[in-house]
Structure 1
């Protein structure tokens, strides 16, 4: 499918859809620091083949969406969450099955809490509670913390950035499965070469995340599925388990050996779970 540029509230976002427009809509929200390419095309086509209209989009300062001056992002974390609604508005979709990964899962929780009328069902992958509460959750692994505290890239040099992002992908994949460096390098290179300004993504490290939603997670009414890997180095499994406890009626799908994100080895499992979950969650 061809990419489609949309503009809502003066914000220009690059989007892409797969599948029959008459099928139930699934909106994919990627984590910060990543464009829609990280919802890989093969995964999107699996969902479309299962009878879903799939929409992915580039966050601000990623891919071909609007970019801002480096070091001066003109938006907040709340604005990024609001962009999910802007995409639905542009496609004239009253409500969708919303799927978020990593920080995108946090955004999906915010949307489900603040705009429940727009969320038919919710799938949260490799993420953590977006609402503060009385809970103790384990920190990232030592390997992850060592990487984020020491690894650097020369953001003026695309090859340096590609090497850095491939190394980061290796860390995120965890230590239980073989890492496909060739596939990761191909994806990262396409992402960097496609971007309006690949260095603008560093703005995601500068944004004000905003206030936690006031509503507790227990007030989420959308049918919810949590998907989490046992080798997630950023958010250990306990983060997913906390979500499953706190959101009423949530089902937890544990992926043995999976790291952080949507890995190729799990595409069929995750896509099948989303299709099944969205079938139970209404058609809009």
Structure 2
């Protein structure tokens, strides 16, 4: 399969796209919260595919072309979002995959590795957290976030997405032209931008996993930005310490975002080396 395809799983439609030879080992990319498959750049996926991997990316519920719910009224829980990727792999005939998750997608990837270890050949966690890392409080007052844009206005939505990426970026980030093209693509593909930007954050968590990170048996790689303003490097260190045998690779200058082109020469080889293990 290549090109975008709509797949029926768990009572919803998910948009999925794959790169590479279907006979190659599968790498499943799970994007962050409120993030469609577009945030895994085409060329990033192609580079992984050229390394002998079948790369699979998809739109979460309420992102891109997948099933959308009214803004503020998600008809699912966080546990449902975590169940979708496995159902998607089933629909694609993939029993075992190399799972790569970023931010919220990293939380989903952890849950899959804990509850369904037989489905995970290797685990790669990017810009994410085990969820209970203590950090020193920043001095001074936090600034109030700017008001949300009118997500129904395409131009305002593009500017809003660009602002959000800039606010979480480090010194190594996507260029302005590339960011604008990406934001325009996201807005153009998304069924309901308001729902996309709200619903993941207001959905109930659902049932929690019955085990912790000590249950993860998959070989684990942790990639974490040194300038992440949402999850400092302490979160990456905590993941590497709590998962047996995990390896941490700090990404110098990266903030909290999907890997920008300037870091592909680091990130892609790391993932290819790691996924050669499973």
TM-score tier by shorter-chain length is over 0.9
State the distance in 2 between where 1:73 and 1:267 align.
34
In the superposition, the TM-score normalised over structure 1's length comes to 0.92
Number of positions where the alignment pairs a residue of Structure 1 with one of Structure 2: 275
Structure 2 gap segments, 5+ residues each: none
State the distance in 1 between where 2:136 and 2:111 align.
22
Answer whether contact 1:29 1:56 (CA < 8 A) is retained: yes
1:80 is paired with a residue of what secondary structure? helix
Which residue in 2 is equivalent to 1:206?
202
Answer whether contact 2:173 2:254 (CA < 8 A) is retained: no
Higher mean alpha-carbon deviation, 75-84 vs 151-160, is at 151-160
Task: Kindly report the root-mean-square deviation, in angstroms, between the aligned alpha carbons of the 2 structures.
Answer: 1.9
State the distance in 1 between where 2:185 and 2:72 align.
24
Shift, 1:83, TM fit:
0.7
* Within-5 A mapping of 1:168-247: 168-174=164-170, 176-177=171-172, 180-201=175-196, 202-247=198-243
Which residue in 2 is equivalent to 1:256?
252
State the distance in 2 between where 1:140 and 1:41 align.
37
Structure 1 gap segments, 5+ residues each: none
State the distance in 1 between where 2:31 and 2:126 align.
10
Shift, 1:142, TM fit:
8.2
**CA gap 1:141/1:190 in 2 versus in 1, 3 angstroms:** farther
Shift, 1:186, TM fit:
0.9
**CA gap 1:78/1:189 in 2 versus in 1, 3 angstroms:** same
**CA gap 1:178/1:120 in 2 versus in 1, 3 angstroms:** closer
**CA gap 1:65/1:215 in 2 versus in 1, 3 angstroms:** same
Q: Determine if the alignment matches structure 1 residue 7 to structure 2 residue 8.
A: yes
1:248 is paired with a residue of what secondary structure? coil
Answer whether contact 2:61 2:67 (CA < 8 A) is retained: yes
Q: Determine if the alignment matches structure 1 residue 270 to structure 2 residue 267.
A: yes
In the superposition, the TM-score normalised over structure 2's length comes to 0.94
Higher mean alpha-carbon deviation, 18-27 vs 68-77, is at 68-77
Which residue in 1 is equivalent to 2:115?
114
State the distance in 1 between where 2:139 and 2:40 align.
24
